[in-house]
Structures are given as structure tokens and as C-alpha cells.
Amino acid sequence: MKLVCINKGRIKNLTEGKKYKVVRTNSGKHNNSDKEYNSIWVINDVGIEKHYSRKRFISVPEWRDNKLKELGI
């Protein structure tokens, strides 16, 4: 599966608008707060497999649809 980065935040080794291959995923609840989390591991821009929040990424079709809407198509 490939996802597109939409929010790199302060992270140096991701590029907004770039596609990343998902290596594995994880989800669950934090121990003390019971808040749910979804995370993924991708190969970042420097070639290292790294763990990131799923909120930073969207699917390629979703990203494409957003770009078409921005262009008014």
C-alpha cells in the first residue's frame, strides 16, 4: 500500500505530497489515557524505516481527488 504525506510537521525526513510505501501498521490504545492510535512504518527520505502517525498520510486516490478539487476539475 502507498500513502501520500499531507502533514510533515517538524519532521525533517518526510516530504509533503510524496508517496511512501507502507511497511507495516499498528493500532491500539495508549496505556494511561485509553486514546486510540493508528501508526505506520514507512521508508523515509533518507532510506530509514521509521514509525509515524497515520494522521500524517492519506491514500493516493484521496490525495488525487483533493488536488483535482483544488484545481476546480
pLDDT tens, position by position, 2-23? 999 999 999 999 999 999 999 9
C-alpha 72/C-alpha 58 separation (Å) is 20
The pLDDT value recorded for residue 24 is: 95
Work out the average pLDDT over 46-62: 95
C-alpha 64/C-alpha 51 separation (Å) is 24
Q: State pTM to two decimals.
A: 0.84
Show me where the domains of the chain are located. Answer: 2-71
CB 61 within 8 A of CB 68: no
pLDDT exceeds 90 at position 73? no
pLDDT tens, position by position, 27-53? 888 788 888 888 999 999 999 999 999
Single out the residue of 52, 72, 66 nearest to residue 7, CA to CA. 52
